[in-house]
Structure 1
Amino acid sequence: MIEFLFLIKLIVAIAFVIGLSVLAENVSPKVAGILSGYPSGSAITLFFFGLEVNPEFAAESAVYNMIGLSATLSFVYIYYIASRHFKKYNILLSSLCAIIGYFIIVSLLQRIEINKYIAILIPFAFSFLYIYLFKSIKNINIQTKVKLNYRILFVRAFFAALIILVITSVPKFVGSTWAGLFSAFPTTLFPLMLIIHFTYSKEHVHTVIKNVPIGMFSLIIYSLTISIVYPLFGIYIGTLISFGVATIYLVVYKKIISIIDKSKRTY
């Protein structure tokens, strides 16, 4: 059973990270940034919390996951700021700053007495804040794409697999509060940022970062739905319902943006 779960986690990690990186290269970093906020890493983590512990534990963790998303948004903001200032070892130092910042913010959030209203309000406020702070970043597409090979695929898979395996092991050692906060760690976004930054440039990873807060609303909605439906319907049906609700948000967002763009062209 342990080996089977290990294999599932590894395959899912590889699929998400490679999928987002290919999407960034062949569609745009903007789209990849939005979809990186779609339930992926947190969804995997919460699902395995429910599978390996119980649905009630996962539902409680999902509430704190929403709060933890504020730390995720701060993670990408700190990475953005650091990557603009460091000249040498840009990726390494930016990553270290972002990781340290994430855990400082998580430790502070852990002290807050949480209910669902606060859990919704805080990440929504952070999302709008970072949308504002990122408004000056330009959306830049990737013009010259690298050719994929086995070495590149392995590197892209390694970070996601490692991070997901570590984070999904948390509930064995800590309570549901810390487990939920840890579950918000950007398990697929962080490897994606490393891939784009290392393969292309900081300007391209900034495009990804700019659009993360927009997609983050879908993850907030997903976690809220999980906290409600897991105890009622279990992890399998509950996961399907939650993904459906999160997808509806993205579809509605895309429709609204299309209407706005059409209106601008008309005038």
Structure 2
Amino acid sequence: MESVLTPEFGLQVLKLLISIAVVLGLSLVAERLSTRTAGMLSGYPLGTAITLGFIGIEISPDFAGQSAVYTLAGFSSTLALGTGYWLGGRATGIRGVINGTLGGMLAWLVASLVLAQFNFTRVTGVLVTLAAIALCMRLYRNVPETPASKTPFSWITLMARAALAAGIVFSITALAHVLPPSWAGLVAAFPVTMYPLLVILHLTQGPSAVATVIKHYPAGLGSLLCYAVVVSLSYPTIGVALGTLLGFLVATAWLAVFIPLQRRLISRRTTQLQSS
């Protein structure tokens, strides 16, 4: 028993539990509150925090900090995945999930291969993703809003969510051990929380709910950019624990300002449309 209950084993169990809790929580938000809120929270530093945090613990804070610089640009690949899924996953059921996944993964891979050819700084990484955000928000502007409907609890769905989330996190952190910081950072930007959410919603509520989440995902990426910038600066200097805490504080502060501002803009736009 002593040979099994090692610090490494405990670390892997912690990784598993955190991954499951994050994805399940986000799924419940989508099903019980709204797909718009879920789309926004998909851009909150949940999956990225898990992957960069465990990369910093398992490899080193310096390696994770260097990787976070490329994560800033890697969020563009995440946006490409969302667009590819949206374009490919128009059908319902498992066929839509497969087509959406193939389209999304192909778009993510192509975008990541292109980004890997460049040496990014914090400034250029942020600028690339800001340009991608603006492009996607314009592309999605006419996507209709579809509220999520409540679905009954299912142990099968619960286990599927858990397995998919844990599998993605374990794969990313394992790959980081054999990749350079540039590719580790790009992989760390993979949408650990959003992709399982898209699959779950697609199977339970159809492509319209998926499209709504994808539509609002770019608007939430500002907090992810804030988080990755803070982590890239703080991990090498104050360590993973304090760096993660500081990153969450800055990301949360950004959302606290951005979400009310966005609501005002949407309300004003709706009023103008109704009066015209």
TM-score, length of structure 2 as denominator length: 0.92
Bigger Cα displacement from structure 2, 166-175 vs 66-75: 166-175
Count of residue correspondences: 266
- The AA in structure 2 aligned to 1:256 is L
* 1:87 Cα deviation from its structure 2 partner: 9.6
Residue in 1 that maps onto 2:206: 201
CA pair 100-257 structure 1, distance change in 2 beyond 3 A: closer
Bigger Cα displacement from structure 2, 127-136 vs 86-95: 86-95
Aligned to 1:35, the other structure's residue is in SS state helix
Residue 75 of structure 1, aligned match among 57, 81, 85: 81
Residue in 2 that maps onto 1:213: 218
* 1:128 Cα deviation from its structure 2 partner: 1.1
Structure 2 matches for 1:46-195, cutoff 5 A?
46-84=52-90, 89-143=95-149, 145-195=150-200
**Over residues 189-247 of structure 1, what are the superposed CA-to-partner deviations in whole Å (9 max), with x where a residue is unaligned?**
10000000011110000000000000111101110111111122111111111101001
Determine the C-alpha separation between the residues in 1 that align with 2:94 and 2:234.
47
**Over residues 16-43 of structure 1, what are the superposed CA-to-partner deviations in whole Å (9 max), with x where a residue is unaligned?**
1111111001110110010001001111
- The AA in structure 1 aligned to 2:23 is V
**Over residues 87-134 of structure 1, what are the superposed CA-to-partner deviations in whole Å (9 max), with x where a residue is unaligned?**
982211210121122112111110012122111100111011101111
List runs of 5+ in structure 2 lacking aligned partners: 1-6
Residue in 2 that maps onto 1:35: 41
* 1:265 Cα deviation from its structure 2 partner: 5.3
Question: Contact 2:143 / 2:215 at 8 angstroms: preserved in 1?
Answer: yes
1:252 aligns with 2:257: yes
Highest relative contact order (Cα 8 Å, sep 6+), 1 or 2? 1
Aligned to 1:199, the other structure's residue is in SS state helix
TM-score, length of structure 1 as denominator length: 0.95
Determine the C-alpha separation between the residues in 2 that align with 1:265 and 1:114.
42
Aligned to 1:139, the other structure's residue is in SS state coil
CA pair 97-59 structure 1, distance change in 2 beyond 3 A: same
- The AA in structure 1 aligned to 2:130 is F
Aligned to 2:264, the other structure's residue is in SS state helix
* 1:258 Cα deviation from its structure 2 partner: 3.9
Aligned to 2:90, the other structure's residue is in SS state helix
Question: Contact 1:86 / 1:93 at 8 angstroms: preserved in 2?
Answer: no
**Over residues 115-173 of structure 1, what are the superposed CA-to-partner deviations in whole Å (9 max), with x where a residue is unaligned?**
22111100111011101111111121123x22113222111111111011000111211
CA pair 236-65 structure 1, distance change in 2 beyond 3 A: same
Residue 238 of structure 1, aligned match among 240, 243, 261: 243
* 1:2 Cα deviation from its structure 2 partner: 2.4
Determine the C-alpha separation between the residues in 2 that align with 1:153 and 1:87.
18
Give the fraction of aligned pairs with identical amino acids, expressed as a percent: 34
CA pair 105-265 structure 1, distance change in 2 beyond 3 A: closer
CA pair 112-255 structure 1, distance change in 2 beyond 3 A: same
Determine the C-alpha separation between the residues in 1 that align with 2:242 and 2:114.
33
List runs of 5+ in structure 1 lacking aligned partners: none
Structure 2 matches for 1:2-41, cutoff 5 A?
2-41=8-47
RMSD: 1.8
Aligned to 1:89, the other structure's residue is in SS state helix
